[in-house]
Amino acid sequence: MDPVPASPARRIFARVGRPLRGTALPVVLLALAACSPHSPSALDPGGAGASRVAGLWWLMFWISVVVFVEVMAFLTWALVFRRRARSARRGDPTRFVVVAGAVLPAFVLVAVYGVGLRDLAALGHGPDKAAVTVDAIGHKWWWEVRYAGSPGATANEIHIPVGEKVRIRLRTADVLHSFWVPQLMPKTDLIAGELRETWLRADRRGEYRGQCAEYCGLQHAHMAFLVVAQPRADFDAWYARLGAAAPAPQTDDQRRGQEAFLQAACSSCHTVRGTPATGLVGPDLSDVGARWSLGAGALPNDGGHLGGWIANSQTSKPGNAMPPQPVPADRLPDLIAYLRSLR
């Protein structure tokens, strides 16, 4: 005797169900990863700009959920009750098709578009009066960071006072880059020959990871930066250090290291404020010992990685502008000691 033929709905569920079970776990894990406190998720906003983006995202998400459930319900109904509906067809379905298929979607799309325009205008409208103005200059592949009113410079790290609006002026020294701090603001592209502007406001203290979001060459992925939102007093202290001369060497090995630094090629590309090193090709190193990473997120910032970076940064960040440095092995520890003391 033949088995009872499965209903069309059951056949569809059987076909779709198995692959779905296989993909459900990775999808759930990805969703959870996006919400982990250490990931730069735009859905974990830390400030006004990203909150707006997250709000728009959730609005669209829940509308999509409602539409999806509705469509699935109609589809199931059509599959299960197809025969009965065909035999008992009554009335003209045109009005339903027009309303549910055209009028309702048009209304939803126009409404979402309107909310999107409102948010776009709010995000584009920078601070009337910024507490702090930062210049972020994109290079292949690192961020030069300067502050209006300060002679100092740093790299790949932007300190801001928490709860205050910060104006960010963006320029590129070479190709297109894009400035993105997912937890604080949407992307702003850096376009050659143009001065672009965006703004940040962090409503809670902490560190927010930023990333170049426009493909810019071999080391695009290693063009990260960190926004450090700190209480006003801490920010003021940091800002004062930024403008001051780098700390002088305190120990014999630091002194020998400074000597090596000034004699080697380092000083022709890098600046250390208060010394004869005034190179402008690479990042200012006056506070390199305090930074969160080496090579714009390529390596952790510690003595071992710093030694490797000096000897040959091409192994960890191929293509970057710094050639291997022929520093004698007996001088390398002094050089590391000196650079680590710059904080």
- Residues whose CB is less than 8 angstroms from the CB of residue 291 and which lie 6 or more positions away in sequence, other chains included: 154, 155, 156, 157, 301
Which helix H or strand E contains 137, and what residues bound it?
Answer: strand 132-139
Q: Is residue 272 a contact partner of residue 279, using CB atoms and an 8 Å limit?
A: no
What residues between 178 and 217 interact with ligand CUA by CB under 6 A?
212, 214-216
**327 φψ region: left (φ > 0), alpha (ψ -120 to 50), beta (else):** beta
Tell me if 144 contacts ligand CUA by CB under 6 A: no
Q: Is residue 296 a contact partner of residue 156, using CB atoms and an 8 Å limit?
A: yes
Distance in Å, CB of 308 to ligand CUA, minimum = 23
Tell me if 295 contacts ligand CUA by CB under 6 A: no
Helices H, strands E: what count in the chain? 10, 12
Distance in Å, CB of 185 to ligand CUA, minimum = 17
The SS3 of residue 328 is coil
Which helix H or strand E contains 227, and what residues bound it?
Answer: strand 224-230
Distance in Å, CB of 222 to ligand CUA, minimum = 9
Tell me if 322 contacts ligand CUA by CB under 6 A: no
For residue 274, give both structure tokens.
């208060």
- Residues whose CB is less than 8 angstroms from the CB of residue 62 and which lie 6 or more positions away in sequence, other chains included: none
Tell me if 146 contacts ligand CUA by CB under 6 A: no
Residue 137 or 212 with smaller CB distance to ligand CUA: 212
Distance in Å, CB of 143 to ligand CUA, minimum = 9
One residue of 158, 223, 336, 342 binding ligand CUA per CB under 6 A: 223
One residue of 47, 138, 161, 186 binding ligand CUA per CB under 6 A: 138
Residue 187 or 255 with smaller CB distance to ligand CUA: 187
Tell me if 222 contacts ligand CUA by CB under 6 A: no
- Residues whose CB is less than 8 angstroms from the CB of residue 268 and which lie 6 or more positions away in sequence, other chains included: 279, 281
The SS3 of residue 272 is coil
Task: Using CB under 6 A, count the residues that bind ligand CUA.
Answer: 9
Distance in Å, CB of 177 to ligand CUA, minimum = 3
Distance in Å, CB of 173 to ligand CUA, minimum = 11
Query: Which residues are at the interface with ligand CUA (CB under 6 A)?
Result: 138, 141, 177, 212, 214-216, 220, 223
